[in-house]
Structure 1
């Protein structure tokens, strides 16, 4: 056999195949990815196959006071999803669906006390394998059951959240609803030679920073576009889309989709970014402190231009499908990504 190998072209062919295989692996690894983990797709598929959620109070027709449309959409999508189980013993997580009249901390505490009295599941982890929706619930935390809820259970909030109401190591945030009228607009996939360096649209257009940019020909600052076609065109022709973190940030996912790199002006850290434990936010968006004013903003834009800009734009467009809310959930959309984050939270720790 050794003589055969030495006297034939098998060895060179095998070496060529080996080199090609190594090159392919390296090429795949080198491809820019918006995900923090290379196992994202493997874990996501495993979630689809195995994740089970038990819902308390499932038959109650008057569910929580869903003042937030995105909160209602998540709730309804979950109740119609294949992830639910009627067998609590096979559930990874438990969904606390509070009745409509459960709004104060005392009422919430009483609701949880009934759960721990009637059923064994809360007491096993003191609520650490439970999750609930809460975008604006505040109040005194003097009730033991409410303290356990806030300390242990996963809270799903609306983005951006109230700073004191978000615990980074466990809580999640819902990405904003995307403008429905842009659903049928196809982004123009072009190199940004752009008419505009930066574009801002929102009710906070009268802020000091926006005021300073208003007369700069490289920026367009407006309270609202003339129509959705106009909005889509401006997103497609702008290199950066500006957002005030403490203002209206609903368009971040849309900016990603149209290849407009978000620049977020913030007055504090942002632990509540949607999918922060899944996506490489620092490589898809630019973050600027509000204290530096326009000078710091322009400096950040300058650093983000060039080769880094095209990479940020590409990663953002790859991740944009995760920010889309559908009436009927689709693979990898916002609903499934929130569930994926819950799936990552299924390994619970008991807090005493």
Structure 2
């Protein structure tokens, strides 16, 4: 038996799946429990939770119509300005989330696949969020009080420990997730009560969307927080949550935040990266090594050049899709004060419910790649400075903190999930 499969069998046995190894390759997605009798401790408790959410919705709706909000409500930060679609609505929703939101984290499963994931590399947000969620003040030990239920399973770890490169088969990885949700559905009443609608998972690995599709109820009903937020591959804007891919080369944001003022940025537009996917191929075909008028677009930098130094020298930084839509370049640009230029197909931008990306980034369609320089040069200095300053303003919402701080990326991910839960009404099956 494959070594990785032996490893996964050793720790998945704690789920109570004594025959897991014999069922792993034959398990069907239809086997996820969905129809057994639901036995709740307090059948009317869900009605109370829904009533509380209804009050929260009404309060947020009222704030959305107001022109001002009481600054005394928040000593740390009061959202304002055009970077937010509706700063009052966002602020009130955030404050209500902090006061009300309770999340139950299922305790089944042990690391490395469950409750843990690597916190480094470009997929590190997956591990960072799972670890933060384990110790979060939003966590409740009483599932009867929970608005949301978190499935603490790592797609990065599933790929690492379960995927057999020699066979290139997806079945083992998908069946790991199927068996896990089966255990949750068999041991607890909450998955079946809502068909997974008040449950969420988070994945930064590119394969997260495909692996999660193994369970129809999870794919259709649950909230999937994904780095690979591609609407052409099943990402649902009304249900799923786009999260930023963030690369922390030293494990923290030390040395990544900040950059020179707009007047000291001498490069018009910068990109450096390999030919990963058709978008980058088009970009490099038109612009590689054409450095005239401040355009610096190339595959690789010379040995005496530093990528982050080039970002800090630049007014605009190209954030082009690679093999998938997710890329850490977008956040790197915001971290260092460079205006992101997004060249992506079917990408759902992070926190788009709250943030107006048009106020701090530029979208370039594939058909306009040949016109890239002229489009950017036509942007007035006044508009560029406004875009740059707005990017500095929203930076706080993309920063990773240890431990998390209010309004940072961890809280913004939770807020996006909170909004989805607010818009989901779950009926108590014991009530008429």
Q: TM-score per shorter chain, which class?
A: 0.7 to 0.9
Q: State the distance in 1 between where 2:420 and 2:304 align.
A: 38
Q: State the distance in 2 between where 1:261 and 1:229 align.
A: 21
**Cα pair distance change 1:91/1:249, threshold 3 Å:** same
Deviations, residues 278-298 of structure 1 (Å, cap 9, x unaligned): 211122111111233322x23
Could you tell me which residue of structure 2 aligns to residue 117 of structure 1? Answer: 186
Counterpart among 283, 289, 296 of residue 209 in structure 1: 283
Q: State the distance in 2 between where 1:256 and 1:227 align.
A: 25
SS of the counterpart of 1:89? Answer: helix
Counterpart among 377, 397, 400 of residue 325 in structure 1: 400
Could you tell me which residue of structure 1 aligns to residue 239 of structure 2? Answer: 170
Counterpart among 287, 306, 309 of residue 233 in structure 1: 309
Whether 2:342 is the aligned partner of 1:264: answer yes
Could you tell me which residue of structure 2 aligns to residue 55 of structure 1? Answer: 105
Could you tell me which residue of structure 2 aligns to residue 69 of structure 1? Answer: 124
Could you tell me which residue of structure 2 aligns to residue 156 of structure 1? Answer: 225
Q: State the distance in 1 between where 2:240 and 2:389 align.
A: 28
Instruction: Compute the displacement of 1:79 (Å).
Output: 0.5
Could you tell me which residue of structure 2 aligns to residue 34 of structure 1? Answer: 83
Counterpart among 73, 76, 81 of residue 136 in structure 2: 81
**Cα pair distance change 1:305/1:160, threshold 3 Å:** farther
Could you tell me which residue of structure 1 aligns to residue 381 of structure 2? Answer: 306
Q: State the distance in 1 between where 2:387 and 2:375 align.
A: 14
SS of the counterpart of 1:241? Answer: strand
Q: State the distance in 2 between where 1:186 and 1:105 align.
A: 38
SS of the counterpart of 1:156? Answer: strand
Could you tell me which residue of structure 1 aligns to residue 409 of structure 2? Answer: 334
Could you tell me which residue of structure 1 aligns to residue 30 of structure 2? Answer: none
Q: State the distance in 2 between where 1:97 and 1:193 align.
A: 45
Instruction: Compute the displacement of 1:337 (Å).
Output: 1.0
CA RMSD of aligned residues (A): 3.4
**Cα pair distance change 1:31/1:171, threshold 3 Å:** closer
What is the number of residues matched between the two proteins?
322
Could you tell me which residue of structure 1 aligns to residue 350 of structure 2? Answer: 274
Instruction: Compute the displacement of 1:31 (Å).
Output: 6.2
SS of the counterpart of 1:43? Answer: helix
Could you tell me which residue of structure 1 aligns to residue 270 of structure 2? Answer: 199
Instruction: Compute the displacement of 1:196 (Å).
Output: 1.1
TM-score, normalised to structure 2, is: 0.65
Q: State the distance in 1 between where 2:212 and 2:226 align.
A: 18
Structure 1: gaps of 5 or more residues = 1-23
Q: State the distance in 2 between where 1:175 and 1:221 align.
A: 23
Within 5 Å, which residues of 2 pair with 1:90-101? Answer: 90-98=145-153
SS of the counterpart of 1:243? Answer: strand
C-alpha contact (below 8 Å) 1:254/1:320 kept by paired residues: no
Q: State the distance in 2 between where 1:52 and 1:30 align.
A: 24
Could you tell me which residue of structure 1 aligns to residue 419 of structure 2? Answer: 344
Q: Which moved more, 1:203-212 or 1:315-324?
A: 203-212
Deviations, residues 38-59 of structure 1 (Å, cap 9, x unaligned): 2223322332222111011356
Structure 2: gaps of 5 or more residues = 1-66, 72-77, 163-171, 428-432
Instruction: Compute the displacement of 1:112 (Å).
Output: 2.7
SS of the counterpart of 1:304? Answer: coil
TM-score, normalised to structure 1, is: 0.79
